Amino acid sequence: MIEIDGLTKRFGQMTAVADLSLSVGKGEVLGFLGPNGAGKSTTMKMVTGYLAPTAGRVSICGHDVETDPIAAQANIGYLPEGAPAYGDMTPRQFLRFIAEIRGFRGDAADQAVAKSVAKTELAGVLDQPIETLSKGFKRRVGVAQAILHDPPVLIMDEPTDGLDPNQKFAVRSLIKAMAPSKAIIISTHLLEEVDAICTRAVIIDRGGIVADGTPAELLARSRHHNAVTLTLPAAQAADAQAKIKTLSTVANVEQQGRDDGFVQMTAFPKSGALLIEDVSALAAREKWDLRELYAEAGRLDEVFRAITTTDTQRAKAVA
């Protein structure tokens, strides 16, 4: 439902997005990841028709955003970065305004607003000016206006930024519930969010895609994928490390000392090997006094750091 083809955006000398192609279908929740300044927001602004691309095209449900913007925009619910809203309006007035612009009239507008308010749990603050609301409520007002017309395509720039863990959970549940009938793109810095709600993760860096896959596929790229971490008394540590190393599936073992008389160590597998059975069998044989023993799924932040550049690196590259 979202087709992005060769999308490029240059601001003067600076290339913000470079030849980005992507297609998102119904039922997909695409997590858009990348360091600050990688081009996430710029891409979203082009997809929603706020910025005109330097090259390339975007099509939403078959409507080209540049040549047929109104039809495309009618199919999009968009939460811009920072969830902007008219601060002097109350959520009720604001959502009513959005409903009318979206073509709802009279009772239909009331119903659309009521539905959206119920989904985002805004009922308690409906008549307070938006500028007096907490960050969490402001964000939810933004989400409410984006989903008001039940759009087939949802574009959300950092939908859970600034929310407390309960509010994050609520917004994620909401997105999950809507997912089967929509094509959704969310951008986020929170890697756990990708794990929680996304069916697909795309990492972009310097305006281009550097990774594209399911969260599990990305996790498989992590050094910690299938690694085993165990905690045992310091007295047994040296012996344990030596014995684990002798396992045929283990590549190496790293130790992290702790100040409570225990040692935590992580065994990394040779590529593709599954370690947890071997290590737990070994631990049982040797009768180590294990405090912890668990297999790691992999760490997204590790993958993220490995394939993206830091802002200082980028600044250096430019200079």
118-131 core/surface letters (b: 16 or more CB in 10 A; e: else)? ebbebeebbeeebe
Q: Which region among 71-79, 158-166, 218-226, 254-262 touches other proteins (by CB under 8 A)?
A: 71-79
* Residue 170, φ and ψ in degrees, nearest 5: -65, -45
Q: By CB under 8 A, is residue 87 in contact with other proteins?
A: yes
Q: Which is nearer to other proteins, 109 or 275 (CB)?
A: 109
Count of residues that bind other proteins according to CB under 8 A: 35
Closest to 55 measured CA to CA, from 22, 19, 23? 19
Q: Which is nearer to other proteins, 52 or 242 (CB)?
A: 52
Q: By CB under 8 A, is residue 84 in contact with other proteins?
A: yes
Q: By CB under 8 A, is residue 302 in contact with other proteins?
A: no
Between CA 104 and CA 110 the distance in angstroms is 8
Between CA 159 and CA 80 the distance in angstroms is 9
Q: Which is nearer to other proteins, 94 or 288 (CB)?
A: 94
Least distance from C-beta 258 to other proteins, angstroms?
Answer: 46
Q: By CB under 8 A, is residue 74 in contact with other proteins?
A: yes
Among 39, 56, 80, 152, binds other proteins (CB under 8 A): 80
Among 22, 58, 98, 265, binds other proteins (CB under 8 A): 98
Among 6, 27, 62, 86, binds other proteins (CB under 8 A): 86
Provide the edge-to-edge strand list for the sheet that holds 14-24: 14-24, 2-11, 55-60, 63-64
* Residue 60, φ and ψ in degrees, nearest 5: -115, 120
Q: By CB under 8 A, is residue 183 in contact with other proteins?
A: no
Q: Which is nearer to other proteins, 77 or 269 (CB)?
A: 77
Residues 6 or more apart whose Cβ sits within 8 Å of residue 38? 204, 205, 206, 207, 308
**Cβ proximity of 288 and 246 under 8 Å:** no
Radius of gyration of the chain (CA): 24
Q: By CB under 8 A, is residue 9 in contact with other proteins?
A: yes
What does the binding site for other proteins look like in residue numbers (CB under 8 A)?
9-11, 45, 48-52, 54, 69-71, 73-74, 76, 78, 80-82, 84-89, 93, 97-98, 100-103, 129, 145
